Amino acid sequence: MRMRAGLCGLLMAYTVAVAAHEPAPTAQQSQGKALYNHLCVYCHSPGVWGTNRLAKRQDKDHAVLERRTDLTASLIRTAVRSGIGSMPPLRKSELSDADVDAIAAYLTRQPR
């Protein structure tokens, strides 16, 4: 039991140390994460249709959008507004420009 408590304490200390090195998200990034979780995860989370299609077109390292570090805000805006591959375009009546910018801010945050 003491060993388990010691491991839990060590894990908590590590988690706090790692979190201390990550910058707090901006308000825009937090809004983008909420929007992403509300609208995008159904196709772009691990193991779902859109992610599986991206893995076939590119590779598994580039399939999960939240894990990518090569996305630019411009690419995200273009993909959302124009569509890309199997993804249809989203109209401004479906997602405002400010919402797209927030999602782009979330997906391009650094470090990951």
Domains of the chain from N-terminus onward: 25-107 (1.10.760.10)
Q: Name the token pair of 75.
A: 């690419």
Question: What 3-state class would DSSP assign to 87?
Answer: strand
State which residues of the chain have pLDDT below 70. 1-20, 112
Q: In the prediction, which pLDDT does 12 show?
A: 55
Convert the pLDDT of each residue in 21-35 to its tens digit: 778 999 999 999 999
Structure tokens at 101: 């910018």
Is 0.85 topped by the overall pTM?
A: no
